[in-house]
Amino acid sequence: MDLSFIPHFNVGLNTLAILCLVLGFVAIRRRNITLHRNLMISAFAVSALFLVLYVVHKAWRATQDGDIHTTYNGQGALQIAYYLILITHLVLAMAVPVLAIMLIWLGLKDRREKHRRIARWGFPIWLYVSVTGVIVYLMLYPFNPPPA
């Protein structure tokens, strides 16, 4: 079974997560708690599906040729920018599931003050990871220069 389509599907999931996150932020600024809750739960569901498919794709790649990574071929400043984005993306991505679960739990339990306090830094991290996920995809697939 060919699962090479997964990164192209996952960029759509990441884009949908960005949309849900931003609209959820707008909803809470407008004091629409119900819409905020629904959008943030949707962002979590989309992000969780992304993560499952990401792991499935890596496992599939390992069975194909043993190399689970796609090589970025840019040189110089582009290569430095790619690795800076990738490293910050990966490090912060490890925190997102924990932060998202914590924020959803606090929100559903109506522990608003603690939810707000954590969301002040948790939301930007989650949004950054989603946006940089799209950037990494773009750099690895449509804008990846041919090998030198």
Helices (H) and strands (E) in the chain, counts: 5, 0
**pLDDT the model gives residue 66:** 83
DSSP 8: H
CA dihedral over 19, 20, 25, 27, signed as positive or negative: positive
Q: Quick one: 50 exposed, middle or buried, by C-beta within 10 A (0-12, 13-18, 19+)?
A: buried
Domain boundaries, the chain: 6-140
Please give the Cα distance from 42 to 29 (Å, whole number). Answer: 18
> Computed over its alpha carbons, how large is the radius of gyration of the chain?
17
Name the strand (E) or helix (H) holding 25: helix 6-29
pLDDT digits (tens, 9 = 90+) for 90-130: 999 999 999 999 999 999 999 999 999 999 999 999 999 99
pLDDT digits (tens, 9 = 90+) for 59-88: 999 999 888 999 999 999 999 999 999 999
**pLDDT band at residue 49 under the 50/70/90 scheme:** very high
Angle 32-35-38 (CA atoms, 0-180°, nearest 5)? 145
